[in-house]
């Protein structure tokens, strides 16, 4: 584990101290958990985006599209 020093407004520091106390945790552990969760969300989003962009449609045509008039000819 790495030790990191952060700078924040006094109001933010007070709020995070209260949040940590409510959860029975330290500020350091709480922030570490929040950052780890953010990292997992970002990784999951990036993976989903890669999969979506790599998706190839089923039945994709290798040639030009059929003209609209041909499709709806009566």
Q: Is residue 32 part of a domain?
A: yes
Could you tell me the pLDDT band of residue 70, with boundaries at 50, 70 and 90? confident
Task: Tell me if 20 is assigned to some domain.
Answer: yes
| CATH code: domain of residue 3 | 1.10.1220
User: What confidence score (pLDDT) does residue 1 get?
Assistant: 84
Nearest-angstrom CA–CA distance, 53 and 10? 43
Domain containing 19 equals 1-51
26-30 long-range contacts, CB within 8 A, separation 24+? none
User: Is 33 inside any structural domain?
Assistant: yes
- On whether residue 69 sits in a domain, the answer given is no
Alpha carbons 57 and 74: distance in angstroms, whole number: 29
Residue at 57 is within a domain: no
CA distance 70 to 74: 9
Find all residues with CB under 8 Å of 25, minimum gap 6, and list them. 33
Residues 6+ apart with CB under 8 A from 20: 26, 27, 29, 30
15-67 residue pLDDT tens: 999 999 999 999 999 999 999 999 999 999 999 998 888 876 666 666 777 78
Is 45 a member of any domain? yes
């Amino acid at each position: 584990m790495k030790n990191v020093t952060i700078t924040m407004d006094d109001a933010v520091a007070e709020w995070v101290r209260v949040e940590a106390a409510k959860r029975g945790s330290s500020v350091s552990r709480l922030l570490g958990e929040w950052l780890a969760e953010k990292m997992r969300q970002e990784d999951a989003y990036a993976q989903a985006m890669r999969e979506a962009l790599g998706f190839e449609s089923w039945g994709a045509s290798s040639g030009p599209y059929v003209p609209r008039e041909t499709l709806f000819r009566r």
